Amino acid sequence: MSQTGMNDPTDANDSAGPTPRDSHDHHSGLWSALVQRADALTATVGTGQGEDLHARRALIDFVHGDVLAHLKTEERVLYEAVREVGAHTLVATLEADHRFLLDLVEQVEKADTAMEAALSARALVVLFALRIEKEDTVVLRTLTEAGVDVTALLEGMIVQMATDYDAHFSYL
């Protein structure tokens, strides 16, 4: 993993081949923007009553816009491809990740204190990074080993995201 917490797309040790550049760039953009918003929320801890509300709202709006748009497209395109190669348990695991991500967003929204919101935001960042790593190292490898043209699949997924949710991607 590189310093950003993402898989290096040029890693020569990856037997399934590198992660296509657009996918890596898209994930890096999402992850970076999520970290920035979580950092802003964390910076409000101890600053006074209600100081976290703006930072909390920015994080929640970003997740409800950019991150959920990404996840919905993954569910329609990527998960369907994984199902087609018979990796149903892997899809169930990915769906559980999505449920936990949504639960953490709800915890940020409903937190009674800035500290509670910041802790939930940190957990959200970690789970999202792990989720991206899982996609890049397990999901794409599974599809590649099954003979799926992963580059074409991801290019189609990115086009689908741009078509369906272009206005949502604020980090671009």
79 CB contacts (<8 Å, ≥6 apart)? 91, 94, 95
pLDDT tens-digit map of 68-84: 888 888 888 899 999 99
* Mean pLDDT computed over 130-146: 93
Q: Is residue 4, in this structure, part of any structural domain at all?
A: no
Domain interval for residue 120 = 21-168
Domain count of the fold of the chain: 1
Q: Is residue 120, in this structure, part of any structural domain at all?
A: yes
Percent of the chain surpassing pLDDT 90: 56
Burial 19-32 (b: 16+ CB within 10 A, else e): bbeebbebbbbbbe
Q: Is residue 14, in this structure, part of any structural domain at all?
A: no
Q: Is residue 15, in this structure, part of any structural domain at all?
A: no
Q: Is residue 161, in this structure, part of any structural domain at all?
A: yes
Q: Is residue 9, in this structure, part of any structural domain at all?
A: no
